[in-house]
Structure 1
Amino acid sequence: MNKKISIVDIANALNISKTTVSFILNGRAQEKRISEELVKRVLKLVKEVGYKPNSLAKSLRTGKSNIIGLMVEDISNPFFANIARLIEDRAYEKGYRIIYCSTDNDTEKTQDLLTMFQDRHVDGYIIAPPKNIEDDVAALIKSGLPVVMFDRYLPNVDTDYVVVDNQFSTYNATRHLIEQGYSKIAFITFASEQTQMLDRVEGYKNALKEARLKPYLREIDFNRNEELIIEPLTAYLKRNPDFDAVLFGTDHIGTCGLKVIKHLGLQVPADLAVVSFDDYDVFKLYSPPVTAIAQPIEAIADNVISLLLKKLDANHTQTTQKITLSTTLNTRDSSRSMLKVAITK
């Protein structure tokens, strides 16, 4: 058959009502006292013709699609990809499917994607929000749809979120570099007004202020074209050859930074000690291995999906929860103490 099989086609083929077919397919045959023989005939035909229920029509009838919308900055980024995978596994165990999308931190694109999710009647939203979508998220919450944010949040919107202690993370990493003997420590990150990025800058500044050292902050505009990140990063390091350490604010800018350092012929840590936010395989395999701030991926994913599933439970009522998790500073050879570096020289 070329046309898509419907419940009406099943009903006509068996000379029964479409309501009876619907009751059987929705597991209500016993409740409606439909004979076992008829149930078997319907299910046999459904299997033979390969009937697939229309999920959108079903969601309109039941008010539930069993679909969760997951919106992240970039699904190809290892941090977001790993979290998305863990969330998908937990959701599937509970009968939910996930639709992913990347916002690219673009407000207009995010608003278009939210409209698409609403058209699909998704049951709940997990969002790593870009700026200026406060009104859109507030409208979702007002309409009764659960929203959980992660990685960052919107200060003016009261919703559940799961984040890490970004301020302490960069404070701790900067303190580590200071304790290793470094004093001209640059912080290179993406220009952003998002909560997690503002907190990372604050933590870096606090550590330097405490040690009475001068901050060297360079914020670079995010761009999907890596060359447009590498160019200003290269220029900044060339203008400041006296830096003895650098802290990168994200894994993406960290990998770009390592390429620049190699291109400039600088030795790590002899010429420049390196620490980056977000730990993943590239940093572990780099020579020398790079000290990195590791986010608790599994704990983030577990808390995010647990919060949303509780919100989706019709019998569960809960107040808004705001969860902050700790990170781990994985120290490696890229931030070896200046004394040890001098000895190896």
Structure 2
Amino acid sequence: MKNKLSINDIAKALQVSKTTISFILNGKAEEKRISKDLTERVIKFIKENDFRPNQLAKSLSTGKTFTIGLMVEKISDYFFAQIAYHVEELANKSGYKIIYCSTENDTQKTKELIKLFAERHVDGFIITPPVGIEKEIKDLMQNDIPVVLFDRFFTDFNTSYVVMDNYESTYKAINYLITTKCANIAFIELESDQNQMTERKRGYVNAMNENRLTPNILRIPFSNDKKQTILQITSFLADNIQLDALFFATNYLTMHGIKAIHNRGLKIPHDISIVAFDDHDFFDIYTPSITAVAQPIQEMAQQLINILLNDISSRKRTIQQKVVPAKLILRDSTIRKI
């Protein structure tokens, strides 16, 4: 009986209607004014007989699959992996499962994955969007499918999103470097026009200009492999021997940059100071430890889940936009120069 127990079996055993059993299973006992005694009797029977409702039947009765599609740039990246972990943990507490994937920042791949997840009837999407998928996001919203963008968003139409204050966090980090007597600070970024990157660059440029310092920017193609990136940064350092500080726009650029610095025979921080955007466990144990702009991962994950689950449960779609402040963690890679 345990293997084949159905709602119909429970109803017959307890002499209660199938509709009442369904309401209790879906958490609507109080709403439907079902007595506490009956609710407890049904729950006790279910536990004793190890009843597990068929997911398809549950989906048909509730209109939900209790799954969420999480699409990030690269699941192997430390930042996105941490976000995925916390989102999955929080979703699970609310009875939802996560299906996640990497887009590799590829527009066509992202379009195909959105279609695949939509065909699987996920209840909502959390997406780190590459450029060129505006139409797909609009289509999801027009079809009343909840979407929350993460890490970046589109400026030409309204969506819910959770992002970090990329401008202010970079602006403050550059100003801190300037207080340590650094005057030749380079900004190393990905070759991307996505708004999270442009905001980081804007924070850098404004801080430099306000202090009457000359900006110096190196753009790394997103398609570069590790070896190509290290070579490009090494060459940049050779051509700019006056540099006394580097700000890396991502944590993996920082790791490649450390190798390039070693290739040039430079010592951190005595020859050159460095700051990473996005913290990493490695930065705290590396010698010297690396100063970093830390994104509040747990808070961002909580905001993402709160917005999405509220949208899934609500009949009225609302646009919620959260900009979360970051924290500059000072370590040994930046010291005050005398």
Q: Same fold (TM over 0.5)?
A: yes
Cα offset for 1:64? 0.9
State the match for 1:177 in structure 2. Answer: 177
TM-score (normalizing by structure 2)? 0.84
Distance 1:257 1:147 in 2: 35
Structure 1 stretches lacking a partner, 5+ long: 12-19, 32-38, 340-345
Q: Which amino acid aligns with 2:80?
A: F
State the match for 1:111 in structure 2. Answer: 111
State the match for 1:280 in structure 2. Answer: 280
Q: Which deviates further from its counterpart, 223-232 or 126-135?
A: 223-232
Say which SS state the counterpart of residue 203 (structure 1) adopts: helix
State the match for 1:257 in structure 2. Answer: 257
Structure 2 stretches lacking a partner, 5+ long: 9-16, 33-41
Q: Which amino acid aligns with 1:269?
A: P
Cα offset for 1:294? 0.7
State the match for 1:325 in structure 2. Answer: 324
Q: Deviations over 1:65-105 (max 9, x none)?
A: 00000011111111111111111111111111111111111
Q: Which deviates further from its counterpart, 284-293 or 216-225?
A: 216-225
* 1:160 maps onto 2:165 in alignment: no
CA 1:229–1:291: 2 relative to 1, 3 Å: same
Matches within 5 A, 1:14-53: none
Q: Which amino acid aligns with 1:146?
A: P
Say which SS state the counterpart of residue 144 (structure 1) adopts: coil
Q: Deviations over 1:272-312 (max 9, x none)?
A: 11111011111111211111101111111111110111111
CA RMSD of aligned residues (A): 3.1
* 1:208 maps onto 2:208 in alignment: yes
Distance 1:230 1:56 in 2: 50
* 1:228 maps onto 2:228 in alignment: yes
* 1:66 maps onto 2:66 in alignment: yes
Distance 1:219 1:226 in 2: 14
CA 1:119–1:230: 2 relative to 1, 3 Å: same
State the match for 1:312 in structure 2. Answer: 312
State the match for 1:268 in structure 2. Answer: 268
Contact 1:56 1:120 in 2 (8 A): no
Contact 1:188 1:219 in 2 (8 A): yes
Distance 2:18 2:318 in 1: 41
Cα offset for 1:247? 0.4
Distance 2:187 2:131 in 1: 23
Say which SS state the counterpart of residue 177 (structure 2) adopts: helix
Cα offset for 1:223? 3.1
* 1:238 maps onto 2:241 in alignment: no
* 1:94 maps onto 2:100 in alignment: no
Distance 1:237 1:23 in 2: 71
Distance 2:318 2:98 in 1: 25
The aligned length equals 319
Contact 1:222 1:229 in 2 (8 A): no
Distance 1:156 1:7 in 2: 52
Cα offset for 1:7? 9.7
Say which SS state the counterpart of residue 118 (structure 1) adopts: helix
Distance 1:22 1:115 in 2: 34
Q: Deviations over 1:141-192 (max 9, x none)?
A: 0000111111111112311111111011111111111111111110001011
Q: Which amino acid aligns with 2:270?
A: A
Contact 2:311 2:318 in 1 (8 A): no
Cα offset for 1:62? 3.9
Q: Which amino acid aligns with 2:108?
A: E
Matches within 5 A, 1:103-142: 103-142=103-142
Contact 1:246 1:274 in 2 (8 A): yes
Q: Which amino acid aligns with 1:214?
A: T
Distance 1:56 1:219 in 2: 49
Say which SS state the counterpart of residue 267 (structure 1) adopts: coil
Q: Which amino acid aligns with 1:206?
A: N
Q: Which deviates further from its counterpart, 257-266 or 138-147?
A: 257-266
Say which SS state the counterpart of residue 333 (structure 2) adopts: helix
Distance 2:337 2:317 in 1: 51
Distance 1:140 1:56 in 2: 22
Contact 1:295 1:328 in 2 (8 A): yes
Q: Which deviates further from its counterpart, 254-263 or 51-60?
A: 51-60
Contact 1:70 1:98 in 2 (8 A): yes
Say which SS state the counterpart of residue 335 (structure 1) adopts: coil
Q: Which amino acid aligns with 2:220?
A: I
Distance 1:115 1:327 in 2: 34
State the match for 1:335 in structure 2. Answer: 334
